[in-house]
Structure 1
């Protein structure tokens, strides 16, 4: 659980067009807001079920793996569904001059079922925001804005990309197979993932799978895995000050010397140099 955390930096809202107002997660109880909330809200349901009653709409259920975006100042009420002992709800509120534009593009007031990979990624970004604000307070002002923007842009991209990929893969099947491969990579990026095993799992020969993957994502499967590991390592270094390089390498499933070499090749500096900056 991430205890409710109000961003002290919200008072600096005139500096950036998008900022974090509050963030957290908890076992949600009944909450009535007849005047709405002063910031736009993004909810993620991790477990249990709950009911949202938004002004002018019927009751809507949020179940595990769903997301809801609620504009500012819209009267609403939400509470655990009947018979539910625990309803775990994650949330982040955001505001700024560009916030309404994001809300308009993303759609709002209707729970959206997310695929498992996307939900896991968004929950990770939510935790990252909470840890950033919890540890750094006002010093995290600019970085929190960047991460909030990244989170919203990630959702927008996920809503758009399936349609674009469908045009490229008219038959549909390659797209499904590659999506399964991507899910496997995100779930097991810190393990020893062999190209042969990935290809076999999604039903392709090594050569055909490699060719399809490069055609769709512009990199080989191994390069994609490496990118995921590097992004996750950056997140670990940022979220856990004082963590050792050896520990980060271990959590990425890499030998320390190899991890340092790949990190430097990717970011132009060693992990220690990154930490110092």
Structure 2
């Protein structure tokens, strides 16, 4: 958990066009903000589910892997929506002269529950921001301003990926074949899958399959499979506390040394460091 941290800016508000107001995550309880909140907010749901309700009656339900962008000063309340599962909600609030322009640039992403294409990446950026703010140092606030802008860009980039994947799945025959290939990856990610075998299952040559896959998903089949394995490794560490790195690598069908190297490249820290946190 990242306990709620309020930024103590040491009079840097006027110097920073964008600055973090608060950041954290916790098991969210019901909260009523009849006057709204004096900062723009981005919320990330890691587990459980909850709902935001606006004064005009609109309600937005968040489920695991989703994000929600809420403008400043919008009256609202939010609350867990599943009595059997805690709502693990991450959040960052930001202000500054540039913050309204940033939300304007996000356009239709605001006040809409969004499924993240790469939720783990966004959550890690949130954690990194929290660690910076926790230092409570002058330089940390300058760095956190940069990271805050980075999170906003990542959200927009992430949703472009979602749109691209949706367009790919909406087109006809080639993407039906690609969907077969993707299902094969999801069902057999823990085996030694060769691209040639996946391409054959989709009915294409390796070269043609590679071109179609990159055009549809914006990444290569090998990178997609690696990303799938990395996400699954994070789930295994969460689901089975104390599980060894070697066991996770085995369950993913990867050599331990290769798994450690790819995990660090993906998340910026080793599997052991991640498990400890």
- TM bucket (normalised to shorter chain) is 0.5 to 0.7
Q: Deviations over 1:184-235 (max 9, x none)?
A: 79xx9xx998654665676643222333456679987679999xxxxxxxxx
CA contact (8 A) 2:8 2:136 kept: no
Q: Deviations over 1:221-264 (max 9, x none)?
A: 679999xxxxxxxxxxxxxxxxxxxxx9973249x9xx9xxxxx
What TM-score does the superposition give when structure 2 sets the normalisation length?
0.64
Tell me, in whole angstroms, the C-alpha distance in 2 between the residues paired with 1:60 and 1:3: 25
2:253 pairs with 1:252: no
| Mapping of residues 1-277 of structure 1, within 5 Å | 1-9=1-9, 11-81=11-81, 83-104=83-104, 105-107=106-108, 110-115=111-116, 117-135=117-135, 137-160=137-160, 171=171, 177=178, 195-196=195-196, 199=199, 204-212=204-212, 251-253=260-262
CA contact (8 A) 2:41 2:91 kept: yes
Which stretch shows the higher mean deviation, 28-37 or 52-61? 52-61
Q: How many residues align?
A: 234
1:223/1:44 CA distance change after superposition, 3 Å: closer
CA drift of 1:87 comes to 0.9
Tell me, in whole angstroms, the C-alpha distance in 2 between the residues paired with 1:150 and 1:211: 30
Q: Deviations over 1:48-84 (max 9, x none)?
A: 1222222223333222222211111112111112524
CA contact (8 A) 1:13 1:96 kept: yes
CA drift of 1:10 comes to 7.5
Gap regions ≥5 residues in structure 2: 227-256, 266-277
Which stretch shows the higher mean deviation, 89-98 or 105-114? 105-114
Gap regions ≥5 residues in structure 1: 227-247, 260-277
Tell me, in whole angstroms, the C-alpha distance in 2 between the residues paired with 1:50 and 1:165: 26
CA drift of 1:166 comes to 7.5
What TM-score does the superposition give when structure 1 sets the normalisation length?
0.64
CA drift of 1:96 comes to 1.6
CA drift of 1:29 comes to 0.9
CA drift of 1:85 comes to 4.5
Tell me, in whole angstroms, the C-alpha distance in 1 between the residues paired with 2:66 and 2:54: 16
Q: Deviations over 1:129-179 (max 9, x none)?
A: 11232246432223222222122122223334555678899945656849x
Tell me, in whole angstroms, the C-alpha distance in 2 between the residues paired with 1:215 and 1:165: 10
Tell me, in whole angstroms, the C-alpha distance in 2 between the residues paired with 1:17 and 1:99: 8
1:167/1:34 CA distance change after superposition, 3 Å: closer
Tell me, in whole angstroms, the C-alpha distance in 1 between the residues paired with 2:155 and 2:142: 20
CA contact (8 A) 1:7 1:137 kept: no
